[in-house]
Chain A
């Protein structure tokens, strides 16, 4: 039986914004994978279409389920995703030096993408079970959430997926900071982050990942390597000017100057072909999506809904920020994808799941 209020409170603007971004993403991906000599798009585009259909299906199912059921399901799902991450370590498939793929029939899935969502669920559950004391969490309160983040974090790092592990830490920190921590905890964690960052740089980062950071700090040191890619990225973006060169006419990306143009460098493809105008529209849609996320958090009825909405929004924000910051030369290139625009089935599906949580929270905010 279907409650009428569900329909009344369906957040149509968020729905339309998401649909627009996804459509623009597919359109742009078609161009990025388009081969100018054979006049065909690569099979990547079609596989993304399939993933889009899969994501839509899952999201629809999720909309009919009260999200509060995930309070109970948070831990089982969390451990399930840990299991998947373990599978990756033993049976994973290596793609471009990173071993974080699992082959399921003809598809490859990236369990680390799903682990981000299950982690948000489990953290929201923890923050609901143990609401922050008046002065904020002290160190002792943080042992369990730290444990919760470290298990998937270590597993993801073992697969050399620096991007996903970064988002795990950022989402975790954002949510805890929002919930409130004591000042001494803040200072200690800042120091730990610094030490940990340097340690990770030395221990876990591959040469390729290290060179990205080096080339950001010293762009002249290696113009053929990552610095060269950043230069090409800036040329592609800048050459779009105000109106862009037109759809499928971005010669800079078509002539293969841009590396990984269907994943990390998807935004320069858009910027080259649609210019400042197109970029502003896409940025506006991203901003709208994030603002809706925050607004929904403020309207949620209980802790779980607040933290779930905030978690999804934080994850989304950090992915957008780190990708755009990287390709536009505002921060080092980290090799992360842009939500809803980059190629990547698992990423697309997990983001659609996240957004359907937001829609879900909106739909059920007046139900008691």
Chain B
């Protein structure tokens, strides 16, 4: 039926409008009834929900992934710990809460005030951690006090734990003590700035008070190690006690925590421990690589810090020590320390000379204890000189004069070309945070940096690893590994990542590297020279010879020129750095080691013995030698 607007059919029109009015009124009746139900009949119940009974979500923290060594021996794992937190929204009387807490636990009440002030800008339902890692008995005491019914508590007038929470949280522990600390890194409470970064990158995974990797591998693999927190929803009453009435709790939800992924490293923790003990009392770094696949077997940087001391309740003194110690305890010297390579760089110069044809394998260059160039005398370390000397002996006996000459013939850019080929002057690309690239100068580089032309005299310095040359211990280990095998090698420290069930979810692909564009003939000459540095009586490292296995190496003594003035501690930073790079066994290289002992003096006496011991220990445990 349609509408007719002529006067006589007005009735139909009116009746439709009345029908509309009826519908509208009916709807409002429904809504009002619904409101009456929600606000009047169930009002008390919902009021309790919103004001007195509060739904809380209690976080179940995910356990951080474990860090294993190559034999699945844990280096960093987790232990249970307890934190005390306040939820400002539920705290009615802070003074009373503080008094109650003071009776139960040992806690600094000025710290509570500080945190309380800091938290003003945060939403009031955010838990405010006021004490971390409190002793187990104190945590239990608070929990018991909270669970005693109100009527039974001894002194009601002065008892108030509203808004106080004991939060269980797994914390990092280091079953083998501090080991490879600078490499593993440490974890700490996330800063507000970092938090907003994490929250925008990985929504829902980070909240205030979470612990995150601050340095090292803990930071590099943070997103994989962290895991996903779960939660339990609870209804609690006015005094913070849980309500377990079925009707109320029926819609609550729980979500299990998903633990972080485990890291399996290529490190051999026994070798690592041995190397660190062998290094005790000295400053410097050691890197041991398996040249066949680039596995990092040991990575030492000492002195370092104790990561256990940074897990919780870090004492102010310890922080001050960490930050102010002139020895840079937080620095990972193995990849972040850049040192002049000294004579270890002669390997590069030798290879460059032979490959570029400026140096014949049998050619003898005469050493009379130094070389006069540009009006200045460049000394050889051997005052009396080596006499006529070939490249083979010049490597073994580390003749400076010989390499001054080669350096002059080559010039800076050709040296740089081979240094780069062997992995110096650029990041090795190891899967770790904060690696430094060191410096290998070129004429172009100097023009850019200093707006000056390259001086021919500088060719002499860089040919023997002084001047602008700087390398990291990791780069030097890579260099010697690549010389040993004649192939490109990618050093890496991650063997596998496995999920919480232990299934491998990621594994770096280890492809056999391409051959270096260096002739086998050149490499053979250099390797022979390196072998005689140890095996021949005139070699610079003959004292570190091992009778059962043949090694090939190169000593280095890096002059420390300008550091003395910078040092805060008098007499600390004087003396040359001692280098040693080595691989063994010569016929089938299984391990390459690079060692630097800061201000250790001569490479032969300070660094070579450590490298030898580490190498011997490894070859023995691997069963290569008895």
**B-contacting residues of A (Cβ < 8 Å)?**
36-37, 131-137, 178-180, 219-220, 223-224, 231, 234-242, 251-252, 255-256, 271-272, 275-276, 279-280, 283, 286-287, 290-291, 294, 297-298, 303, 306, 310, 313, 317, 321, 324-325, 328-330
Nearest-neighbour CB distance to chain A for B19, whole angstroms, equals 9
**Cβ 8 A contact of A37, one of B30, B47, B120:** B120
Additional A-B contacts beyond A179-B2, A179-B3, A241-B44 (13; CB < 8 A): A37-B123, A234-B38, A235-B46, A237-B39, A238-B45, A238-B46, A256-B125, A276-B43, A287-B28, A294-B20, A317-B24, A321-B27, A325-B31
Q: Are A239 and B50 in contact (CB under 8 A)?
A: yes
How far is A36 from B4 in the complex, measured between Cα atoms in Å? 58
How far is A291 from B120 in the complex, measured between Cα atoms in Å? 49
Q: Are B3 and A180 in contact (CB under 8 A)?
A: yes
Q: Are B32 and A241 in contact (CB under 8 A)?
A: no
How far is A178 from B14 in the complex, measured between Cα atoms in Å? 11
A and B contact pairs by CB, cutoff 8 A, 29 listed: A36-B124, A37-B121, A131-B3, A132-B3, A134-B2, A136-B1, A231-B251, A235-B46, A235-B49, A237-B38, A238-B38, A238-B42, A238-B45, A238-B47, A241-B39, A241-B40, A242-B40, A251-B50, A272-B50, A276-B36, A276-B39, A276-B43, A279-B35, A298-B17, A310-B20, A317-B24, A317-B27, A328-B31, A330-B34
Residues of B within 8 A of A179 (CB): 2-3
Given the known inter-chain contacts A251-B51, A324-B31, please indicate yes or no for A279 contacting B39, CB distance below 8 A. yes
B89 within 8 A of A: yes
Q: Are A37 and B124 in contact (CB under 8 A)?
A: yes
B5 within 8 A of A: yes
How far is A237 from B21 in the complex, measured between Cα atoms in Å? 27
Nearest-neighbour CB distance to chain A for B165, whole angstroms, equals 17
Q: Are A283 and B32 in contact (CB under 8 A)?
A: yes
How far is A224 from B24 in the complex, measured between Cα atoms in Å? 34
Q: Are A297 and B17 in contact (CB under 8 A)?
A: yes
Residues of A within 8 A of B28 (CB): 283, 286-287
Residues of B within 8 A of A294 (CB): 17, 20-21, 24
How far is A272 from B16 in the complex, measured between Cα atoms in Å? 37
Residues of B within 8 A of A275 (CB): 39
**In the complex, which residue of chain A has the Cβ closest to the Cβ of B253?**
A223
Nearest-neighbour CB distance to chain A for B394, whole angstroms, equals 70
**In the complex, which residue of chain A has the Cβ closest to the Cβ of B34?**
A328
Q: Are B251 and A220 in contact (CB under 8 A)?
A: yes
Q: What 0/1 pattern do residues 7 to 19 of B give for CB contact below 8 A with A?
A: 0000001101100
Listed residue (A231, A236, A241, A329) with the most chain B CB atoms within 10 angstroms of its CB: A241
**In the complex, which residue of chain A has the Cβ closest to the Cβ of B124?**
A255
Nearest-neighbour CB distance to chain B for A259, whole angstroms, equals 15
Nearest-neighbour CB distance to chain B for A28, whole angstroms, equals 16
Given the known inter-chain contacts A37-B124, A131-B5, please indicate yes or no for A236 contacting B50, CB distance below 8 A. yes
User: Which positions 243-280 of chain B face chain A at CB distance < 8 Å?
Assistant: 251-253
Q: 10 closest pairs, A vs B, by CB?
A: A238-B46, A180-B2, A132-B2, A241-B43, A239-B50, A238-B38, A136-B2, A252-B50, A276-B39, A239-B46
How far is A240 from B42 in the complex, measured between Cα atoms in Å? 10
Q: Are B35 and A276 in contact (CB under 8 A)?
A: yes
Residues of B within 8 A of A330 (CB): 30-31, 34
How far is A321 from B28 in the complex, measured between Cα atoms in Å? 9
User: Which positions 94-128 of chain B face chain A at CB distance < 8 Å?
Assistant: 120-125
Residues of B within 8 A of A237 (CB): 35, 38-39, 46
Q: Are A224 and B253 in contact (CB under 8 A)?
A: yes
**In the complex, which residue of chain A has the Cβ closest to the Cβ of B123?**
A256
How far is A6 from B14 in the complex, measured between Cα atoms in Å? 25
B25 within 8 A of A: yes
Q: Are B36 and A133 in contact (CB under 8 A)?
A: no
**Cβ 8 A contact of B35, one of A271, A321, A325:** A271
Q: Are B47 and A135 in contact (CB under 8 A)?
A: no
Residues of A within 8 A of B253 (CB): 223-224
Residues of B within 8 A of A219 (CB): 251
How far is A297 from B3 in the complex, measured between Cα atoms in Å? 14
Q: Are B21 and A234 in contact (CB under 8 A)?
A: no
Listed residue (A36, A224, A239) with the most chain B CB atoms within 10 angstroms of its CB: A239
Given the known inter-chain contacts A241-B44, A241-B47, A271-B35, please indicate yes or no for A298 contacting B14, CB distance below 8 A. yes
**In the complex, which residue of chain A has the Cβ closest to the Cβ of B57?**
A224
Nearest-neighbour CB distance to chain A for B35, whole angstroms, equals 5
Nearest-neighbour CB distance to chain A for B42, whole angstroms, equals 5
Residues of B within 8 A of A303 (CB): 5
Listed residue (B17, B20, B47) with the most chain A CB atoms within 10 angstroms of its CB: B20
Nearest-neighbour CB distance to chain B for A366, whole angstroms, equals 16
Residues of B within 8 A of A239 (CB): 43, 46-47, 49-51
**Cβ 8 A contact of B39, one of A131, A133, A271, A321:** A271
User: Which positions 53-89 of chain B face chain A at CB distance < 8 Å?
Assistant: 89
How far is A236 from B2 in the complex, measured between Cα atoms in Å? 46
Nearest-neighbour CB distance to chain B for A186, whole angstroms, equals 11
How far is A306 from B17 in the complex, measured between Cα atoms in Å? 11
Residues of B within 8 A of A136 (CB): 1-2
Nearest-neighbour CB distance to chain B for A134, whole angstroms, equals 6
Given the known inter-chain contacts A287-B28, A324-B31, please indicate yes or no for A238 contacting B13, CB distance below 8 A. no
